[in-house]
Amino acid sequence: MSLEIDSRLTELRGIGPVRAGKLATTGLRTVGDLLHHLPFRYEDRRQLTSIGEAIEEGTFSLAARVGELKRIHLRRRGLSVVNGWLEDETGRLPAVWFNRPYLIQQVKDGEQYLLHGRVRRRGSRLEMVNPSCESLSEAMLGGRIVAIYNSVGGLGPALVRRLVRIALDELPLKSLGDEIPSSLRRQHGLPCLGEALLQVHWPDDAADVDLLNERRSPGHCRLIYGEFLELQVELGMLRSFQTRDEKRHRYEVGRELRSKMQEALPFRLTGAQARALEEILADMESPFPMLRLLQGDVGSGKTIVAALALIVAMENGLQGAFMAPTELLAEQHFRSLRHLLEPRFRLALVTGSGNRPTEVRRGLADGRIQLAVGTHALIQEGVAFDRLALAVVDEQHRFGVAQRQVLLEKGQRPDMLVMTATPIPRSLALTAYGDLSLSVVDELPPGRRAVNTRVVRQDRRDDVHQWLAEHLEKGGQAYVVFPSIDDSSQISCASISTQGEAVRRLLARWPSEVLHGRVETEERERIMQSFGAGETRLLVATSIIEVGVDVPGATVMIIDSAERFGLAQLHQLRGRVGRGAERSYCVALHGQLTEEAERRLAVFGETTDGFRIAEADLEIRGPGDLLGTRQAGEPLFRVANIVADRRWLEKARSDASELLVDSREARKTPFMRRMEERARSRYKRLAGG
């Protein structure tokens, strides 16, 4: 039986059940999976150099005898150095290998080897550092560009390379099917799949090593584009499944209703808010369900836009639901919406710790309660709606798609608006949220001022606390935030129980409170009401106050052990101040920094622009951590990178749109049939069927 791209790895010569089992734990189960385990770098070994020609620093390939190997143990536990000599007819060159003790057993004294590595100057002489070392009699890698692999599934780089070579030899590469339309490959100058795989694993002598190492070779680009195109087509189909059936409810948005919406506003909308609202209303008036993401920076006024959409639903005799990820945020939204909407509309708060009296459940079920604000408790059994028409989900990255789907099932194909105060770079939005239409609120309300931000070492903590005392003396309010409630032997950082209480004792002249996840609901409400009224001057808290807390009188935010927070989280915390007309300040105190933490805090100190912060966060952390629960357990790409490969993502997005509106005949191609099957499978999982 001939080998195929979808063949199990056990069908590949050299891989038995045990080896296949180890590879399966890393996600490699088929020959195609193995061939998508790409080299992480390429070495140019096309030019063999004699030792006599290696007279300056650089990277060289040598054919030489290896001898006089000696292992030296270092003081650092478990580390060692192997020293030796390389020799050919033109001279001798010392070599050193760090932490490769196995070479003593593997290398035979005086035998010829093919070596590739960096020659450096050390004192008055040159030496070769950590060269690869392969017996010249068995070398399959001399005189060419060589792919270098990471170990995977317990298989070392050399064995991975050998197995990849076997797969390339046994696969019918020239006749290997490529489902991506040939017209698109020609348009972008890309090779077919078989040629692309050969180029990235076994490049020919004419290949550009720099392009290979930058993952910009034609072969790399074909694989990158293919992954992006598949996802964009799948997301487009998923959206069509979610919105293809007409909703049962309809909205009338006439002049009278718009007048009522205007009356409810405590201020004029910004241009960005007005634009987002019109996009939402157009979706709501459509006969098909809305599926829209509303994103905007901290304090840009997304909640008021959502509130106006809810007014439209309720004025049309329908119900709304507003779901938030935490009880604190749900309580904050409930207070804000009640102030805006009562007594015209009847609202109820539904949370896990709060009681849900029979009258609330009955009121939702018979329609007397028009808006339910709550946490995930909204999607639990026992909570039913009479005519749920609009579901709003705040801080959507805290919820999985399946949880949102459960909320949708509380109504008859209701409209859905999901919101985030964490700006999402376009490249990430196209991949993680490509099935949602996008509205952006990129303008702050008038009077909002940028928060003055400083990044300070923890050894200046006393100075910062003295400055905080002066601020409180002038009548101000402040937050002091810590990453943990109690001290931990595992993590080195300040906590509320020690440093937080020390701050409260130091500033005992002013009323202070402590807020964290262990505080009971009623006590939490009392603390927030006291702080909101200005009676409490200092709030010592964890990141529980990260989103939704709106106290205009608070103008100072001190974040202790700031290196323990992510960049987006730091930006959210800073957004708790600067919500009034007074000048506001944020101080990030930090301890010892890793390289990544130093980059995060540098960006945090330089800008208050949430969209710039989102781009930087994506570049620092990569997409994996930023996708939240939406893609949990589903690795998006094996080759593509949405940061480095944005250009191909945009092309794939455009091409996918054309494929999806093409004729029915185009939808019958193998590629489109496979994408439709994948999209249906994902849709069934989300719908719980």
Helices (H), 316-436: 327-341, 358-366, 401-408, 426-432
For the chain, give me the number of helices (H) and strands (E)?
Answer: 23, 20
Q: 222 and 269: one domain?
A: no
Which helix (H) or strand (E) is 416 found in, with range? strand 415-420
Nearest to 602, CA basis, from 505, 593, 539 = 593
Residue 150 in domain: no
Nearest to 669, CA basis, from 233, 261, 67 = 233
Is the distance from CB of 312 to CB of 257 less than 8 angstroms? Answer: yes
Reply yes or no on whether the pLDDT at 531 is more than 60.
yes
Is the distance from CB of 233 to CB of 435 less than 8 angstroms? Answer: no
Pairing type for strands 319-323 and 388-393 reads: parallel
**What pLDDT, on the 0 to 100 scale, is given for residue 626?**
43
Task: Indicate the average pLDDT of the chain.
Answer: 86
Residue 196 in tokens? 């692309």
Q: 30 and 166: one domain?
A: yes
**What pLDDT, on the 0 to 100 scale, is given for residue 189?**
95
Q: 209 and 261: one domain?
A: no
Residue 66 in tokens? 């290896």
Domain boundaries, position 23: 1-42+157-171
80 vs 99: CA distance, rounded Å:
5
CA distances 6 to 157, 168, 675, Å, are: 23, 13, 16
Q: 317 and 429: one domain?
A: yes
Domain total in the chain: 5
pLDDT bucket at 633, cuts 50 / 70 / 90: very low
pLDDT bucket at 689, cuts 50 / 70 / 90: very low
pLDDT bucket at 627, cuts 50 / 70 / 90: very low
**What pLDDT, on the 0 to 100 scale, is given for residue 637?**
82
Residue 8 in domain: yes
Give the residue-averaged pLDDT of 210-226.
Answer: 95
pLDDT bucket at 630, cuts 50 / 70 / 90: very low
Ramachandran sector of residue 187 (left: φ over 0; alpha: ψ -120 to 50; beta: rest): alpha
Q: 436 and 322: one domain?
A: yes
pLDDT bucket at 355, cuts 50 / 70 / 90: low
Q: 603 and 489: one domain?
A: yes
Q: 457 and 544: one domain?
A: yes
pTM, two decimal places: 0.72
**What pLDDT, on the 0 to 100 scale, is given for residue 248?**
87
Is the distance from CB of 18 to CB of 148 less than 8 angstroms? Answer: no
Helices (H), 171-301: 182-188, 193-201, 209-213, 218-243, 255-264, 271-285
Backbone angles phi, psi at 522, to 5 degrees: -65, -40
Highest averaged pLDDT of the listed ranges 294-298, 370-374, 646-650: 370-374
Higher pLDDT, 580 or 273: 273
Pairing type for strands 125-135 and 112-122 reads: antiparallel
SS3 64: strand
Q: 428 and 456: one domain?
A: no
SS3 301: coil
Residue 602 in domain: yes
Residue 516 in domain: yes
pLDDT digits (tens, 9 = 90+) for 308-346: 999 999 999 999 999 988 888 888 889 889 988 988 999
Q: 578 and 600: one domain?
A: yes
Which helix (H) or strand (E) is 19 found in, with range? helix 17-24
Domain CATH for 131: 2.40.50.140
Reply yes or no on whether the pLDDT at 398 is more than 80.
no
Residue 446 in domain: no
Q: 53 and 35: one domain?
A: no
Domain CATH for 566: 3.40.50.300
Domain CATH for 25: 1.10.150
pLDDT digits (tens, 9 = 90+) for 539-551: 999 988 877 677 8
Of the chain, the percentage scoring pLDDT greater than 70 comes to: 90
Find where tokens 């049939």 sit: 673
Positive or negative: CA dihedral 266, 269, 273, 278: positive
Residue 627 in domain: no
Residue 214 in domain: yes
**What pLDDT, on the 0 to 100 scale, is given for residue 402?**
65
548 vs 324: CA distance, rounded Å:
9
3-state helix, strand, coil in the chain (%, to 5): 45, 20, 40
604 vs 607: CA distance, rounded Å:
6
Given 557, 581, 607, the domain boundary residue is 607
Q: 266 and 371: one domain?
A: yes
